[in-house]
Amino acid sequence: MPWMTVTEPMERVLARLSSVPAAQRLGRIDGVMVKTFKKHADQRGYFIEQLKRGDLDDEGKPFIPEQPFAQMSRSLAYARGGNPPELIKAFHWHKKQWDYWDVVQGNARVVLVDLRSESATCGRIQTLILGENSPAMVAIPPYVAHGYQVLDLRDVVLNYYVTEPYDPTAPDEGRIAWNDPRIGFDWTIQNI
């Protein structure tokens, strides 16, 4: 598959990352939005509104993109256990596309890395827990590398909405290894 190559500005960002330990780069990334779901439950089950026109993120900003969604997809990641769990799907990034992720089964640690050279949070790493124990959706801007790790012994089902349709002849997707030393993210689970 013809993945996009990392751009020159992204290479410069990645080169600078290794000079600062990943733990010192943790924090919120500009442009990443989180919308915590409201679960309406009774004795029959529950109901969650995932997305609707007029939705706001947890900080009160409009959550739905100006450009409408172009595609909705679902991914299944098998749980394997271990520390870290064997299944880590990371990292990939897009030039144009926004991703809206909703983990509907299982639990995942989502890891985001800001590779935008002009961003105030360039090089920052943001982590989120999404899934059954933390029902929320995250909006991921272009040039923010992203991936996730299965956290428990249940498979993870990820529904995602994107602003660009997938084109297999020219995919808007680039890859960076999950264990790239320039990012230096520690995927181990801390047992306290």
- Per residue of the chain (192 residues), what is the pLDDT tens digit? 567 888 888 888 998 888 888 889 999 999 999 999 988 888 888 888 888 888 899 999 998 877 778 888 888 887 876 655 568 888 999 999 999 999 999 999 999 999 999 999 999 999 999 999 899 999 999 999 999 999 888 889 999 999 998 888 888 999 999 999 999 999 988 765
CA distance 114 to 81: 28
* Residue carrying the six token digits 């442009």: 31
pLDDT of residue 43: 87
Whether residue 167 contacts residue 94, with contact meaning beta carbons closer than 8 Å, is answered with no
Angle in degrees, CA 61, 62, 68, rounded to 5? 155
pLDDT at 95: 94
Tokens of 121: 């949070």
Identify the pLDDT of residue 75: 87
For residue 31, CA distances in Å to 11, 53, 68, 118 come to 21, 19, 17, 12
53, 83, 128 from 119: Cα distances, Å: 28, 33, 20
The DSSP H or E segment spanning 16 is helix 8-17
| pTM of the entire predicted model | 0.88
Q: Which amino acid is at 121?
A: T
C-alpha–C-alpha distance, residues 164 and 98, integer Å: 8
Residue 168's pLDDT is what?
86
